[in-house]
Amino acid sequence: MKTFARSASTGEGMPVVAGFFDPRTFSVQYIVSDPVSRACAIIDPVLDFDEKSGATATHHADELLAYVAKHDLKVEWILDTHPHADHFSAAQYLKDKTGAPTAIGEHITKVQALWKEIYHWPDMPADGRQWDRLFAAGDTFNIGELSAKVLHSPGHTLASITYVIGDTAFVHDTLFQPDFGTARADFPGGDAQALWNSIQAILALPAATRLFTGHDYMPDGREPKWESSVAEQRDTNPHLVGNSAADYIALRETRDSELPIPKLMLHALQVNTQGGRLPEPEANGKRYLKIPLDALKGAKWG
């Protein structure tokens, strides 16, 4: 199975993109680098977790660090596109290893407020202090000599953002590959209309923009893929072609009603709303996750 691919720079001011696929969670991690300065950003890193044994590990995050070392890169940012429901974020681990600042969208505070109630964490800070920077829509920043811009892309979650870096856009779970469709919008805080609007904003980028997705589910058993373009999505994505906003919302709501909750959702959100920090050790030195029972009313059983 292909678990790595490199997308070369397309010209001056355009990044090199290395994608790393995690078959356990169907997630894609990225290293976006400036070929001139060798500065880079890590996007949506995965901290390994086995829900059956409770074991954690850093295999995938260490693979990113090995790539950084091999190509003599300097990590300037550790970026999450949203609080993930299907894997743990390795943002804090990578910050500890590299010293690079962490960032996420400013609406993470809304997600924190929602989940602190679900987990009954009255003392949990819900002001986003767990990250070094909270990006607002329209914010810009640099990765070496690369220019980056933030789009607010709600719908899948309240806090989802898209990073537009040169001629690339990291669209997290808003769009999947053109042969698979789009993200679900039924998580707490999700909204199909908002998702449609976010997709339209992404499709308004130049047609040749390279789009990189947060997951791939390999329909019909094909090899994993995670790169497409605005033109490909606009012309071939089955959830978008020929559909109005009303058509899309009806399709999305019907489809979402049939999907079970991700198996790691209740595990992951208590880590990812804390910036990738595992729970603090208790008196015996061990860490424990807290799983609320019957908290997601109406959720389909998997």
- pLDDT of 55-75, one tens digit each? 999 999 999 999 999 999 999
| Per-residue pLDDT band at 115 (split at 50, 70, 90) | very high
pLDDT at 171: 98
Is 291 part of a structural domain of the chain?
A: no
Six-digit token string for 118: 């679900």
pLDDT at 233: 98
| Per-residue pLDDT band at 110 (split at 50, 70, 90) | very high
Residues 6+ away with beta carbon under 8 Å from 139: 149, 150
pLDDT at 302 over 80: no
Residues 6+ away with beta carbon under 8 Å from 49: 55, 56, 57, 87, 88, 264, 267, 268
Q: Taking all residues of the chain, what is their mean pLDDT, rounded to a whole number?
A: 97
pLDDT at 84 over 90: yes
The per-residue pLDDT for range 156-204, each reduced to its tens digit, is 999 999 999 999 999 999 999 999 999 999 998 999 999 999 999 999 9
Six-digit token string for 215: 């997951």
Q: What is the DSSP letter of 215?
A: B
pLDDT at 80 over 90: yes
pLDDT at 298: 82
Strand order across the 39-43 sheet? 4-7, 16-22, 27-33, 39-43, 74-79, 102-105, 133-135
Contact between 84 and 44 (Cβ < 8 Å): yes
The per-residue pLDDT for range 260-289, each reduced to its tens digit, is 999 999 999 999 999 999 999 999 999 999
Domains: count for the chain? 1
DSSP string across 130-184: TSSEEEPTT-EEEETTEEEEEEE--SSSTT-EEEEETTEEEEETTB--TTT-B--
Is 225 part of a structural domain of the chain?
A: yes
The CA-atom distances, in angstroms, between 299 and each of 86, 132, 160, 217, 279 are 16, 34, 22, 21, 26
Is 287 part of a structural domain of the chain?
A: no
Q: Per-residue pLDDT averaged across 77-98, rounded?
A: 97
CATH number at residue 263: 3.60.15.10
Is 227 part of a structural domain of the chain?
A: yes
Is 284 part of a structural domain of the chain?
A: no
Instruction: Name the strand (E) or helix (H) holding 115.
Output: helix 108-118
Q: Per-residue pLDDT averaged across 89-93, rounded?
A: 98
| Cα separation, 183 vs 202, whole angstroms | 14
Q: Which domain holds residue 256?
A: 4-272
The per-residue pLDDT for range 202-236, each reduced to its tens digit, is 999 999 999 999 999 999 999 999 999 999 999 99
| Per-residue pLDDT band at 299 (split at 50, 70, 90) | confident
Q: Quick one: what percent of the chain has pLDDT higher than 90?
A: 97
Contact between 79 and 301 (Cβ < 8 Å): no
Tokens 């060798």 identify what position? 38
Is 58 part of a structural domain of the chain?
A: yes
3-state secondary structure of 44: coil
Query: How many C-beta neighbours within 10 Å does residue 9 have?
Result: 18
The CA-atom distances, in angstroms, between 241 and each of 180, 233, 244 are 12, 9, 9
Six-digit token string for 151: 């789009």
The per-residue pLDDT for range 15-40, each reduced to its tens digit, is 999 999 999 999 999 999 999 999 99
> Which residues in 126-148 are b (16+ Cβ under 10 Å) and which e?
bebebbbebbebebebebbebeb
Tokens 């791939």 identify what position? 216
**CA dihedral for 279, 282, 287, 292, sign (positive or negative):** negative
| Cα separation, 192 vs 248, whole angstroms | 8
Is 136 part of a structural domain of the chain?
A: yes
pLDDT at 216: 98
Is 282 part of a structural domain of the chain?
A: no
H and E: helices and strands count for the chain? 7, 16
